[in-house]
A and B are shown apart, each in its own frame.
Chain A
Amino acid sequence: MEYFYSLLILVGISVILSLSLNLISGYCGQISLGHAAFYGTGAYAAAMIAQLGINIPISIIFGAIVAGVFGFIVGFSSLRVKDDFLAITTMGVNFLFIGFVRQQEWLGGEMGIYSIPATGLTKMQYSLVVTIVAIFVIMFSITIKNRWMGFAFEAIADDEDAAETVAINTSKYKLTAFILGTMLAGLAGGLYAFDIRYIGPDSFGFTESISILSMVVVGGIGSVWGVVTASIILSLLPQWLQFISDYKLLLYGGLLFLMMRFSPKGIAGIFEYVKTRTLKI
């Protein structure tokens, strides 16, 4: 049963993470290749402040806020550079984050932080907390999508200049997408830190950014249900099939490539295709 609960936590965190990236890259069309930096920021900020004796829920919220502030700053780059330039800039942010953390003695450097306080909850209780947060994030994603904000995001993702001409303040919405997305990533980071109780720079590298991105892309960029489905499948698959665990990266890489090659709209795209086909007949 322990094992089941740890799987639940793993899935919950993946869902929060991929939905948080989906907000930035899916809804608002700003491709980010450095999402793990914000996940890491949340985890580190939460772990550092909890070590000072602050209680854990507040630490996690603090981590999310710090990640959001960082995201706000990085978001400004999306006002300066676009498309491929932005993708490379965010990738740079990820390398910068890792390179910085590695060299900082007070952040545990290469070794990471070991002494993260225990939550006092059992695995079952903690998995329940993570699941509730994940469900909240799913509902939040759906709500935003159907609000004015969601439409504005979609317009920007579609064609930024056109959105500007119909009086959408693109800068404001892009920054909002970055703040919301990175705060949620920070939240996932905090939840992760208190689950594992050890964090090191390697957990938040570029590879992690790519696995988050692959969940979004395989699910179908912009689609909530697609992304949730892909997060569940992609985080569980390596756990269930032990032999895949060694080939996890090959699986991710191969899936990314094949999805883009044959169905760029991901699982959601395949589903849509099947639906329209069956309705036509």
Chain B
Amino acid sequence: MLFIDLILQGLIQGSIYALIAVGLTLVYGLLRILHVAHAGLFTLGAYLGVLLMNQTNSLILSFTISMFLVGLLGVAIYIFCYKPMLEKPPYVALIASIGLFISMEEIYRMVFGAMGVSYKNPPFQDVINLSSLHLKSAEIVTMLVALVLISALSIFTTKTRVGISWRATVTQPQIAESFGINVEKVRYGNFFIGSMLAGAGGVMVGILNNLVEPTMGGVPSYKALAIIVLGGLGNVKGTLIASVLLGVVESFGTIYLGSLLDRDAIAFAFLIIVLMIKPQGLFGSKR
């Protein structure tokens, strides 16, 4: 039973990783930028979720408004931060993004306090028993939210005209542009949707832990980087598989390697081993 339990925990963690990492990999595919500040948006989503929920008491409302606002801020980050840096060497945007992320964390600490915020009436706290498995309903909802949002994204990018033009821009920006696709618009859209997903992930983590702290984005942000590297930078499918894989590896690793390494170290050990064997990531193609 421990086995299934660990798989489930891995899947839950993996679906959170997926929500964060999809946005990151979209940005990387489009601009070749490692968007560390993405996790700052994730944290903001969590804060907006808890604050709006405590005010309005409507989960649907607070969930959608936080997603929307976080999406807008994502676009703003693109316009004010990355757009002027596109011609510079790649480390410029990476370091700027790290700087931005640290500043965002500090601003949350000053505005919302270092102690964190909790839900007044935390939703989905009941425990569901499936024979010997005990799952919080929040955990099931998290998996469902990830599944629904990512399926929606995948339908959008494979079935609609706009979505197909997106994928074309991500894989072949120059050719896409010569076919009359407005690359700038695609970038706005990508930042908006990717940030929205991160915001949704933030709200879900806030509900899962019933605590939103300024530093909650730190570990996910760096792990999400590990995930998109594992998934082969810019490859959405690879990213999704890598998210779930990393979630499962972590949950098994903490049981069997816990005395040697902590949870985060296991994730990065896995990353380093994979990269040394396959430098392009698990599903990356040679550029």
Q: How far is the CA of A253 from the CA of B103 in the complex (A)?
A: 5
Tell me the chain A residues, 51-97 only, with Cβ under 8 Å from chain B. 77, 80-81, 83-85, 87-89, 91-93, 95-96
Task: Contact check, B279 vs A85: say whether CB atoms are below 8 A apart.
Answer: yes
Is A131 in contact with chain B by the CB < 8 A criterion?
Answer: no
With A77-B272, A96-B268, A103-B259: A253-B106 Cβ-Cβ less than 8 Å: yes
Distance between B38 CB and nearest chain A CB, rounded to angstroms: 14
Is A140 in contact with chain B by the CB < 8 A criterion?
Answer: no
Task: Contact check, A250 vs B102: say whether CB atoms are below 8 A apart.
Answer: yes
Query: What are the interface flags for A237-278 relative to B under an 8 Å C-beta threshold, 1 for contact and 0 otherwise?
Result: 000000000010110111111111100100000000000000
Query: What are the interface flags for A179-206 relative to B under an 8 Å C-beta threshold, 1 for contact and 0 otherwise?
Result: 0000000000000000000000000001
Is A28 in contact with chain B by the CB < 8 A criterion?
Answer: no
Consensus secondary structure, chain B interface? helix
Task: Contact check, B272 vs A93: say whether CB atoms are below 8 A apart.
Answer: yes
Q: How far is the CA of A140 from the CA of B207 in the complex (A)?
A: 54
Distance between A244 CB and nearest chain B CB, rounded to angstroms: 12
Is B34 in contact with chain A by the CB < 8 A criterion?
Answer: yes
Task: Contact check, A88 vs B90: say whether CB atoms are below 8 A apart.
Answer: no
With A77-B276, A261-B81, A261-B85: A99-B99 Cβ-Cβ less than 8 Å: no
With A89-B275, A247-B106, A249-B102: A260-B92 Cβ-Cβ less than 8 Å: yes
Is A31 in contact with chain B by the CB < 8 A criterion?
Answer: yes
Q: Cβ of A123: which chain B residues have Cβ within 8 Å of it? A: none
Q: Cβ of B269: which chain A residues have Cβ within 8 Å of it? A: 92, 96
CB-CB nearest in chain B for A31:
B91
Q: How far is the CA of A95 from the CA of B222 in the complex (A)?
A: 9
Is B41 in contact with chain A by the CB < 8 A criterion?
Answer: no
Query: What are the interface flags for A80-121 relative to B under an 8 Å C-beta threshold, 1 for contact and 0 otherwise?
Result: 110111011101110110111011000000000000000000
Query: What are the interface flags for B97-110 relative to A under an 8 Å C-beta threshold, 1 for contact and 0 otherwise?
Result: 01111111111001
Q: Cβ of A210: which chain B residues have Cβ within 8 Å of it? A: 98, 102
With A92-B272, A99-B266, A255-B99: A80-B90 Cβ-Cβ less than 8 Å: no
Is B204 in contact with chain A by the CB < 8 A criterion?
Answer: no
Distance between A225 CB and nearest chain B CB, rounded to angstroms: 20
Q: Cβ of B19: which chain A residues have Cβ within 8 Å of it? A: none
Distance between B113 CB and nearest chain A CB, rounded to angstroms: 13
Distance between A243 CB and nearest chain B CB, rounded to angstroms: 13
Q: Cβ of A98: which chain B residues have Cβ within 8 Å of it? A: 264-265
Question: How many residues on the B side are at the interface (Cβ–Cβ under 8 A)?
Answer: 48
Q: Cβ of B267: which chain A residues have Cβ within 8 Å of it? A: 95
Is B271 in contact with chain A by the CB < 8 A criterion?
Answer: yes
Distance between B209 CB and nearest chain A CB, rounded to angstroms: 21
Task: Contact check, B103 vs A100: say whether CB atoms are below 8 A apart.
Answer: no
Is A22 in contact with chain B by the CB < 8 A criterion?
Answer: no
Number of cross-chain contacts by CB at 8 Å: 130
Tell me the chain A residues, 204-231 only, with Cβ under 8 Å from chain B. 206, 210, 213-214, 217, 221
Q: How far is the CA of A213 from the CA of B92 in the complex (A)?
A: 12
Interface size class of A (residues with CB under 8 A): 35 or more
With A96-B261, A103-B261, A210-B102: A256-B95 Cβ-Cβ less than 8 Å: yes
CB-CB nearest in chain B for A211:
B102
Distance between A34 CB and nearest chain B CB, rounded to angstroms: 10
Q: How far is the CA of A206 from the CA of B226 in the complex (A)?
A: 14
Is B183 in contact with chain A by the CB < 8 A criterion?
Answer: no
Is B180 in contact with chain A by the CB < 8 A criterion?
Answer: no
Q: How far is the CA of A259 from the CA of B85 in the complex (A)?
A: 12
With A77-B272, A85-B275, A96-B265: A253-B99 Cβ-Cβ less than 8 Å: yes
Tell me the chain B residues, 245-266 only, with Cβ under 8 Å from chain A. 258-266
Is B94 in contact with chain A by the CB < 8 A criterion?
Answer: yes
Is B73 in contact with chain A by the CB < 8 A criterion?
Answer: no
Task: Contact check, B95 vs A260: say whether CB atoms are below 8 A apart.
Answer: yes
Q: Cβ of B225: which chain A residues have Cβ within 8 Å of it? A: 88, 91
Q: Cβ of B271: which chain A residues have Cβ within 8 Å of it? A: 88-89, 92
Is B93 in contact with chain A by the CB < 8 A criterion?
Answer: yes
User: Which of A80, A83, A95, A257 contacts B265, CB < 8 Å?
Assistant: A95
Distance between B163 CB and nearest chain A CB, rounded to angstroms: 26
Q: How far is the CA of A261 from the CA of B103 in the complex (A)?
A: 14
With A77-B272, A261-B85: A99-B96 Cβ-Cβ less than 8 Å: no
* B residues with CB within 8 A of A: 32, 34, 81, 84-85, 88-96, 98-107, 110, 222, 225-226, 229, 233, 258-269, 271-272, 275-276, 279, 281
* A residues with CB within 8 A of B: 25, 31, 77, 80-81, 83-85, 87-89, 91-93, 95-96, 98-100, 102-103, 206, 210, 213-214, 217, 221, 247, 249-250, 252-261, 264
Q: Can you pick out 11 interface pairs between chain A and chain B where the beta carbons lie within 8 Å of each other?
A: A31-B91, A92-B268, A92-B271, A95-B265, A96-B261, A96-B265, A206-B222, A249-B105, A255-B99, A256-B102, A261-B84
